[in-house]
Structure 1
Amino acid sequence: MKSLGVIVEYNPFHNGHKFHLEQSKITTGADVVIAVMSGQFLQRGEPALVSKWTRTKMALLNGIDIVVELPYAFATQKAEIFASGSISILSSLHCDTVCFGSEQGNIHDFERTLAIMDSKKEEYDLRVQSYSQEGYSFPKASSMAFTEITKNDRVLDLTQPNNILGYHYVKSIGEQNSPMKAFTIERTSAGYHDPDFNTTTIASATSIRRALFNHGGQIENVQQYVPEGTYQSLAHYQRQAGGFHRWEDYFPFLKYRILCSTPSELAEIYEVEEGLEHRLQQTMKESHSFDEFMTRLKTKRYTWTRLQRMCTHLLTNTKKEMMQRITSTKKSEYIRLLGMSKKGQSYLKQVKKDTDIPLLSKVTAMESNMLNMDIRATCTYAMKFPEPARSEWMGLEYSKPPIRYNEETNTFI
């Protein structure tokens, strides 16, 4: 079977994702589709709208055959590390192709830009260092350095979020010597960060989440922008969990964590740098909500996304030494299976004996610091719920087997 990999968050799965998936299948001629999906916390440092299990069901209902989890150690990182972990998992599953959405829409532009950057790496690194010393955030310094050294070349627009991720996917394929071939599909209609609905059927995940939160969780407001399977999954989750997840749900725990730690304890947390531990405590004392806290905390040097990721690491007690050690190889230690169709199950039987890292259906199957981070992330995610629901949700990490989907009867087994 010819296999296609996609790297996703599905927060939630919407009509734009459906379009990308259908076009990716056509472009690559794939027989089976594997999704590497972020778990309970996402790349922008946010809790997922609904749990990874519900998003797995959304994916299976809409044409994905295998869903595996991108470990927390990669899922809550800047683009380079996020991409390396994702590509390592797809490579281990012997994916023939990977297809990502981008603003550019032409894979040759990614390959050409990568070649140019390889030839100018030393100059680029020096300029990034110089701009960082002037007080710019790392993403801004990187963007300015890239613009400066490629001003006479025809290259990607690396101010666009999906172009940035795509660039690092292609780069990771080369660094890992993977035989996987990359393709890209141009994003249409809604932009990645568009806060409002601009068309009748396609909307960004950002605008969908905003509509849900700004209108008291009335999912009817987003029905036309998501497939029926997503709509029903959102409705079921809302009834079962009492609502969707957002940062404000976790603000009391973050406040406790920051104010009851010493500055030296805060400084041990991943992404707490350059004296931020003192600013964190002072700002938290003055803040009454997560949004107010972030607005006060943000500076020219630190982006909102970077600070949100830092807050996520504070919640999960993720320390610098541990994170840097387990991501140093830029590869996942395992493949955590979340769900599969009948076709996906057949594919896994075919490749399982040749995977170079363990394929896990239970977290008890191995001992790993990387896996322990995933478990802590789920425990943190469950803190939204009152007891006894909180403990029950935590227990799912150990007790829930991979979701099995019969695509012929459209039922879960």
Structure 2
Amino acid sequence: MKAVGIVVEYNPFHNGHAYHLQQAKAVAQADIVIAVMSGTFLQRGEPAMVDKWTRTKMALAGGVDIVIELPYVYSTAAATDFAKGAIFLLSAINCHAFAFGSENGAIAPFLNTFQLIDTHRSDYNMLIKESLQTGASYPKSLHYAYTQLSQKFPADYIDLSQPNNILGFHYIEAAAHLKSAIQPLTIPRIAAGYHEPVQQGATIASATGIRKALATTNELQHIQNVLPHTSFDYLMDWSTQHGHFASWEQFWPLLQFTLLRHTSHELTRYMEVTEGIEHALIKAAKTSNSFNDFMEKVKSKRYTWTRIQRMLTHIYTGYTKEQAHHLDKPSYIRLLGMSAVGQAYLGQYKKQIELPLISRVAAIKNDMLAVDIHAAEIYNISVEQQVKHNRLPKDYQTPPIRM
């Protein structure tokens, strides 16, 4: 059996995701699809709208055969480390290929782009440093360096201002640095751009557009056309039980308390809190009535919205620089769910999978896994603040979902 890997958040699983995994399976000529999925907190530094077990059910109902968890250490990291963790796990579970969605839609320009940057790495880093010294943000400095190089050595390259192209580049970079034999493939995104709102009558929308629509109306019927019916049903169940979807706006009182209970010096212990921003975080927390109000006060030319959200995630979950220093590559694969075909694959290739496959974690002692379980507990407490009678499943007690 051949497996193709995909890197997902499924926040939530929508029709575009269904198309992507069908195309990935076809293009890779694979028998099964394995998804490495972020847990309760995501790469843009925000809580997932529903927990990972609900999103695992959506994935399995949508056609994924095996869902494994991307540890918190990677799922909340910048693109380079996010990609490194994901590709490491997909390689370890014996995927022969991985497929990612992109605005470009062709693999050759990605390979050309990686070759350009890898060959001229020292010049690239010098150009980044040069741009940062002007006060530009890190993403803008990356784009400046890339533009300078691509103009000097013209060829067919990707547009690295597009979010999915950026991630795709880092997946290929990660596979090369890991010396993995896993084959990169890309599927063109269709119909909806990354940040586009949900269009009336559309059947494809981005996850960002779906979340914005729900934040505006809180009416699931407005997004029903862009979701598989199973995803819609799972979201309806969540909404009925919990009354709201998880977001920083919902978590704001707890986040505000977390910020204000620290001194500015104490905040510097946490990942990504650097360069004196701790003072601005506390100052804004004292005078903000909402998360959006807080963010508008803190974001700047140097600190992007996403970068600030990631540092807030680490403060909220208590993930420190000292912890990060001691956590290297994953030493396990955590199984979240599988179909019957996925179970057959694991049975057939168990001896060829490079890492221990963990299904029950209660008795496992592992520092990286402990960070995941702690983050899930923080998430659950935050969701349950106003809905005490509907308890979310304890992460360390929950077995993989079989579907």
- Give the C-alpha shift of residue 29 in structure 1: 1.0
Query: Residue 250 of structure 1 aligns with which residue?
Result: 251
Q: Is the 8 A contact 2:201 2:225 kept in 1?
A: no
The corresponding residue for 2:48 is 48
Write the mapping of 1:95-106 to structure 2, written as runs, cut at 5 A: 95-106=95-106
Question: Residues of 2 paired with 1:198 and 1:113: CA distance?
Answer: 37
Separation in 1, partners of 2:145, 2:389:
46
CA distance in 2, matches of 1:167, 1:365: 38
Q: Is the 8 A contact 2:58 2:231 kept in 1?
A: yes
What do residues 119-171 of structure 1 show as CA deviations (whole Å, max 9, x unaligned)? 11100001111111221111111111111111142211100000010011111
Give the conservation status (yes or no) of the 8 Å contact 2:99–2:185.
yes
AA of the residue aligned to 1:234: L
Give the Cα separation in 2 of the matches to 1:188 and 1:316.
35
1:390 shift after superposition: 8.3
Once the 2 structures are TM-superposed, how far is the Cα of residue 206 of structure 1 from its aligned partner? Answer: 1.0
The answer (yes or no) to whether the contact 1:190–1:198 under 8 Å persists in 2 is: no
Question: 2:301: which partner in 1?
Answer: 300
Matched positions, count: 400
- 2:97/2:182 contact within 8 Å kept: yes
Residue number in structure 1 paired with 2:378 = 380
- The superposition leaves residues 288-312 of structure 1 with CA deviations (integer Å, 9 ceiling, x where unpaired) of 1100000000010010000011111
The answer for the alignment partner of 2:185 in structure 1 is 183
- SS of 2:175's equivalent? helix
One-letter amino acid of the structure 2 residue matched with residue 396 of structure 1: K
**Secondary structure at the residue paired with 2:77?**
coil
Q: Secondary structure at the match of 1:363?
A: coil
Within a 5 Å distance, the mapping from 1:83-102 to structure 2 comes to 83-102=83-102
Note the residue ranges of structure 2 that are not aligned, 5 or more in a row: none
Residue 324 of structure 1 and its aligned partner are, at CA, apart by 3.4
Counterpart position of 2:169: 167
1:196 is displaced (CA, Å) by 3.8
**Two-structure CA RMSD over aligned residues (Å):** 1.5
> Could you tell which deviates more after superposition, 261-270 or 292-301?
261-270
Letter matched to residue 335 of structure 2: L
- Using the alignment, how far apart are the partners of 2:272 and 2:326 within structure 1? 14
Q: What residue in structure 1 maps to residue 113 of structure 2?
A: 113
What amino acid sits opposite 1:324 in the alignment? Answer: H
Aligned to 2:32: 32
CA distance in 1, matches of 2:350, 2:272: 36
* 3-state SS of paired residue (1:352): helix
- The Cα of 1:366 is off from its aligned counterpart by 2.1
Q: Is the 8 A contact 2:68 2:335 kept in 1?
A: yes
Residue aligned with 2:34, SS: strand
Q: 1:221 to 1:68 in 2, by over 3 A?
A: same
Q: What amino acid is the match of 1:133?
A: Q
Are the counterparts in 1 of residues 38 and 75 from structure 2 also a CA contact under 8 Å? yes
Aligned partner of 2:15 in structure 1 is 15
Give the superposition deviation at 1:358. Answer: 1.8
Contact 1:43 1:82 in 2 (8 A): yes
Query: How far does residue 333 in structure 1 lie from its aligned partner after superposition?
Result: 2.4
Question: Which deviates more from structure 2 when the two are superposed, residues 37-46 or residues 19-28?
Answer: 19-28
Superposed displacement of residue 281, structure 1:
0.8
- Matches of 2:62 and 2:192 in 1, distance apart? 20
Letter paired with 1:131 = S
Aligned to 2:401: 403
Change (3 A) 1:279 1:120: same
Q: CA deviation at 1:387?
A: 7.7
Equivalence for 2:288: 287
Moved more, 235-244 or 154-163: 235-244
CA contact (8 A) 1:40 1:378 kept: yes
SS of the equivalent of 1:200 reads coil
Mapped to 2, the partners of 1:77 and 1:198 lie a distance apart of 34
- Which residue pairs with 1:411 in the alignment? none
CA deviation after TM superposition for structure 1 residue 38, in Å: 0.5
After alignment, is 61-70 or 134-143 more displaced?
134-143
Question: Residue 322 of structure 1: CA displacement?
Answer: 1.2
Give the match for residue 410 of structure 1.
none
Check whether the contact 1:384–1:390 (CA below 8 A) recurs between aligned residues: no
Letter in 1 for 2:159: D
In the alignment, residue 353 of structure 1 is paired with which amino acid?
K
Contact 2:197 2:205 in 1 (8 A): no
CA distance in 2, matches of 1:190, 1:156: 19
Letter in 2 for 1:16: G
Instruction: Determine if contact 1:42/1:48 at 8 Å carries over to the other structure.
Output: yes
Q: Secondary structure at the match of 1:243?
A: coil
Q: Distance in 1 between matches of 2:260 and 2:273?
A: 15
Greater shift, 120-129 or 395-404, is seen at 395-404
1:199 Cα offset (Å): 6.0
Q: Which residue of 1 aligns with 2:74?
A: 74
**SS of corresponding position for 2:159:** coil
2:163 and 2:11 map into 1 onto residues whose CA distance is: 16
Q: Amino acid of the residue matched to residue 350 of structure 2? A: K
1:309 equivalent in structure 2:
310
| Secondary structure in structure 2 of the residue aligned to 1:151 | helix
Residue identity opposite 1:237 in structure 2: W
- TM-score w.r.t. structure 2 length? 0.96
- 1:279–1:297 contact (8 Å) kept in structure 2: yes
Shift of 1:392: 3.9
- Contact conserved, 1:110 with 1:167, CA < 8 A, in 2? yes
For the residue of structure 1 that corresponds to 2:185, the secondary structure is strand
The 3-state SS of whatever aligns with 2:192 is coil
C-alpha deviation, 1:94, in angstroms: 0.5
- Distance in 2 (CA, whole Å) between partners of 1:316 and 1:113 is 36
